[in-house]
Amino acid sequence: MIAAAMATLATLSSCNSKEEKTVATTEDQSELASKDAVNAMSDFNLEGELEVDGRKYEYEFAFEADRHLPVVTTTDGYRYYDNHVKLIISQGQRVVVEHTFTKESFESLIPARDYKHSVLAGFNRNYMKQDQHDRFYFVAVVGDPDESGDINHTVGISIDTTGGISTTLLQNVDTDTSPTSGAGNSDPDEDAA
């Protein structure tokens, strides 16, 4: 899952968008995961521009392993540091939204049986809503970071210009283990190619 999530997020962040930049490590973490140690997903940063209500905004976020959060044990027995995402949306020098997301941000949406074995496994702009300019739209993936894991829940995040945040479960993936499949985290321009 890690390799797929990181490769997809890195690819999506650079698809057909000159204003977005990403720095990501996409090495295959499944080969590096160990049951004898606490594992960490790769950190990455993304920044870009969005338009809401006719106004231009910049966003940036950092996805990072967080050694202060509880360690998660997957259903396969691997231990992982959970992750957090620090999102900043600004307009010029004015910060409009500054929020840190963790798995706990989505606890009410994730079944308890899956929640305890999951980490915040991904975060990106919601490309399925890129033509909607009334709010800022992002997606998060809460799931199992292991290649063999089958727990993945995609959460839609909408943020208004006053910082109000709402979340909804977009997809409960039980049979398709791709953390970003079809749930609004792909670039439609790339899909059409």
Question: How confident is residue 178, by pLDDT bands cut at 50, 70 and 90?
Answer: very low
Q: What are 93-106's pLDDT values in tens digits?
A: 999 999 999 999 99
Q: Which of 46, 57, 58, 188 is nearest to 131 (CA)?
A: 188
Joined tokens for residue 130? 């890129």
> Is residue 189 predicted with pLDDT exceeding 80?
no
Measured between alpha carbons, how far is 119 from 37 in angstroms, rounded to an integer?
Answer: 16
> Is residue 22 predicted with pLDDT exceeding 70?
no
User: In Å, how far from its chain's centre is CA 167?
Assistant: 13
The residue-averaged pLDDT of 12-26 equals: 39
SS3 40: coil
Question: What pLDDT score does 31 carry?
Answer: 56
What is the architecture of the domain spanning 2-192? Beta Barrel (2.40)
Question: What pLDDT score does 171 carry?
Answer: 64
SS3 103: helix
User: In Å, how far from its chain's centre is CA 175?
Assistant: 20
The residues, ordered by sequence, that sit 6+ positions from 73 with a Cβ below 8 Å of its Cβ are 79, 80, 117
> Is residue 11 predicted with pLDDT exceeding 60?
no
Question: What pLDDT score does 149 carry?
Answer: 75
Q: What are 28-44's pLDDT values in tens digits?
A: 444 568 889 999 999 99
Segments making up each domain of the chain, as ranges: 2-192
Strand partners, 136: 159
Query: In the chain, pLDDT over 90 holds for what percent of residues?
Result: 64
Strands 79-80 and 38-39, by their bridges, are parallel
Question: What pLDDT score does 66 carry?
Answer: 98
